Structure 1
């Protein structure tokens, strides 16, 4: 077999790795796969309350202007995104009786649930204090989300090295994300009215968020309890942090995956945020919020079931290009069907299904870049590399949310009672135009992905190193 060692830049040399070959590794138990998927249910019970409803809550419930809300979302997200690298490095250097990643699920779940409730409890005081309170709680929520989600994302390469199992775990994670999103998008509007009596009730949002947060905490603890770290001994940690960061920057597949993720979450954030305004102001059917938003996440369930055979046949590069091109074309067909939901919904479902297939590939792509990092630079850096995905998620969501908020503010939107014609036209433009444009950008990024052809050799070479280490 050909030697697995490439030229290592600036003194980076291979580090020993555990002696587990993908060919001999036993399959994961169904309970463990379900527990891993539960972690993304937990994440999305909170994340989708924020990405789908927080801007509306700020503008129409708390009484914060759209411009101020957009600014605080953007600034807070970029500030707490800067902490993600530190959290990733901390995970890589954690040694405890619970492992490297799992302890954070235990330690941070309850504080995260509490702060999530506080984020949707802006007091009825002066506008300035509302903005200060909203910024502080939103920033703290982002930091705690990173302290949970980066370790959670790091679990996949620690649980198994088998590519088939990773694809399965990626499917369970995508389906978990979809289930969490379906719960939030399908029930939030109804629960707010049930608990508070109206769609803009402060009490309704408080009790709805309390319910979602309690479930989120419980599910994070399920992931902690039933997921096992099997691959955490990466040998000596003699490599310095500076060289570890330099290796990450030189990891081309990782950079491509993160750029792809940023644009993906810009698109997803715009879609989910604008859908609420679209249903109320354009369709004049507020009940459609509980139909259109769940269809975005419901597509991930189907995508999760199809992802393994789909990408096994086409690879990530070609598979994503085809899925995104089809989805973008279908979104471009939607405007003529706006007044006929019976025709609108089937086209919308197909568009979401295609984009959902693309979304499921993100998780396994990041796990594969961990293998590449070990093969190319001799260190896995699960926490550091997964912090990049968390940062990409936050930056993309921040840009998407701020883009929607600033565009609405520029068009003169203040609240739902006095939306001018310009604001309604802007909502339409964002809803129909942003997804195809951003999908085209994603296609341009993923066209540079080259790991499909290289990864089988990387897996063989890493297995050979482990056998030699025995």
Structure 2
């Protein structure tokens, strides 16, 4: 342990009292969840309908639209660690992460609304407008989503409260996702009265206003702790928190692999139901049932009491793999496939919850090891970066496998080899990749067992610091 503080009975008692009293009120867990709910309320519209909007409403060619989406994804992935460093350099009376909700809530809402608004421009100008608004919307979301994760370690030092708050956050995030992907198109049709461009602009504007209000509520109720108000760490110091931080490295690798598997599955899903099961309506039907993962997310704190965090993650990843295999064995039996899908969704949603929670614990380890508390960089790399890069890699894997077996959307019917490749990508590729993430989480067990030492030592340092400041 790198510390100049000598433990004493007084410091130990003060540290234990500090941990006992550092609890997060239930109402603050709910308002913390408002941040993710608001983000998903808008960002999931982008993730689910951006390509459709660009081609069928905005009026771009599919090739141009695809290029713009690729550019935005790359910039967003690069922006995640940059945003993390910015959070670490933030010095505000509101804290380090919390002020970003105040600063970025309005730009985020406006950029997303402008993204789904079609101006009367020429063809070239429309492309520039669409690309610019998409990049601004992506970057403003990164500026929102990074603090959502980085603020958690500073809301409370209590690990159980962090786990509970994170579970509530992801449950409410799924509520936002559900409303985004389920009701935005019917609302746009209702308010547009036959004018899709007008309808989408009004509908997304309504969603943007709701998201903005809930983001402000989350900001107003937050209180950051465990930070030095006068401390601004350098970029070099931020990266110093990664040195020897093995639990962080494991979580980043496991989470990146998780999102790679998850994205490969989602990329292949439409093709599987359209070609292998010959029913396009099943695409939205199965996606709608993904809301069931809330059940798993809400149960995570209960499982952690018995299986600990690493064991809960391993169990949920195994459950996801079982669900995937179930779908494969179900074949054309839709009812059986739906059961497997629900099992897989519950497992995947719960595993996702665990990764977001554990990356916060690695911030404590980094501070214990190096003396540097780099919330922004560590959580940005452990969350936002993993999501963006995993999505890119997973989609790339799916596309390459299907291309290798001759898939072409122009074909009226796909060959047996192509459909086998689609099935393999949708069902078995995720199973293989999830297994790697599972193995990494078994290795993580060692570091979770070390967490009580880290927590107590950090509490002793803070107790001694409070004593010095009082004197």
Shorter-chain TM band: 0.7 to 0.9
Offset at residue 160 of structure 1 (A): 0.4
Q: Are residues 1:292 and 2:286 paired?
A: yes
Structure 1 position 217, deviation (Å): 1.6
User: 1:352 corresponds to which residue?
Assistant: 345
Please tell me whether residue 40 in structure 1 is matched to residue 36 in structure 2: yes
Flag the 1:193–1:30 CA change in 2: closer, same or farther, 3 A. same
**Is contact 1:185–1:293 with CA below 8 Å preserved after alignment?**
no
**Given the alignment of the two structures, is residue 458 of structure 1 paired with residue 451 of structure 2, yes or no?**
no
Residue matched to 1:11: none
Structure 1 counterpart SS, 2:102: helix
The change in CA–CA distance for 1:141 and 1:408 in structure 2 (over 3 A counts) is farther
Deviations 1:204-260 (Å, cap 9, x if unpaired)? Answer: 5444433332222222111111121122227754x6421331332542222222222
Q: CA deviation at 1:353?
A: 1.0
After TM superposition, give the deviation of residue 454 of structure 1 in Å: 0.9
The answer for the alignment partner of 1:315 in structure 2 is 308
Q: Which range moves more in the overlay, 255-264 or 227-236?
A: 227-236
Say whether 1:370 aligns with 2:339.
no
TM-aligned CA distance change 1:376 to 1:280, over 3 Å: same
Offset from partner CA, 1:284-318 (integer Å, 9 cap, x none):
5555444322332431x212221112123223333
Q: What is the CA distance between 1:263 and its match in structure 2?
A: 2.5
In the alignment, the residues of structure 2 paired with residue 71 and residue 283 of structure 1 have an alpha-carbon distance, to the nearest angstrom, of 30
Q: Label 1:26 to 1:249 Cα distance change in 2 as closer, same or farther (>3 A).
A: closer
Contact 2:316–2:348, Cα closer than 8 Å, also in 1: yes
Partner of 2:10: none
Report the count of equivalent residues.
451
* Conservation of the 8 A alpha-carbon contact between 2:106 and 2:212: yes
1:256 matched to 2:250 = yes
Cα distance, 1:32 vs structure 2: 0.8
5+ long unaligned stretches in structure 2: 5-13
- 1:14 corresponds to which residue? none
Report what 2:236 is aligned to.
242
Residue 228 of structure 1 aligns to a residue whose secondary structure is coil
Contact conserved, 1:37 with 1:173, CA < 8 A, in 2?
Answer: yes
Give the conservation status (yes or no) of the 8 Å contact 2:109–2:209.
yes
Given candidates 199, 204, 210, the residue that maps to 1:209 is 204
Measured after TM superposition, the shift of residue 42 of structure 1 is 1.0
SS of the residue aligned with 1:457? Answer: helix
Q: Structure with the greater relative contact order (CA < 8 A, sep ≥ 6): 1 or 2? A: 1
Given the alignment, which residue of 332, 343, 347 partners 2:325? 332
The within-5 A match list for 1:46-57 is 46-57=42-53
Find 2:19's aligned residue among 2, 23, 33: 23
Counterpart secondary structure, 1:393? helix
Q: TM-score, normalised by structure 2?
A: 0.83
Task: Report the equivalent of 1:305.
Answer: 298
The alignment's C-alpha RMSD in Å is: 3.4
Q: SS at 1:248's partner residue?
A: coil
1:134-213 correspondence runs (5 A): 134-195=130-191, 201-213=196-208
CA deviations 1:33-70 (Å, max 9, x no partner) are: 11011111111112322223324444555565666555
Matched-pair contact (CA < 8 Å) for 2:325–2:428 = yes
Residues 240 and 103 from structure 1, CA distance in 2 versus in 1: closer, same or farther, beyond 3 angstroms?
Answer: closer
Distance in 2 between residues matched to 1:224 and 1:183, nearest whole Å: 22
TM-score by length of 1: 0.84
Distance of 1:407 and 1:59 partners within structure 2 = 26
Unmatched 5+ residue regions in structure 1?
8-17
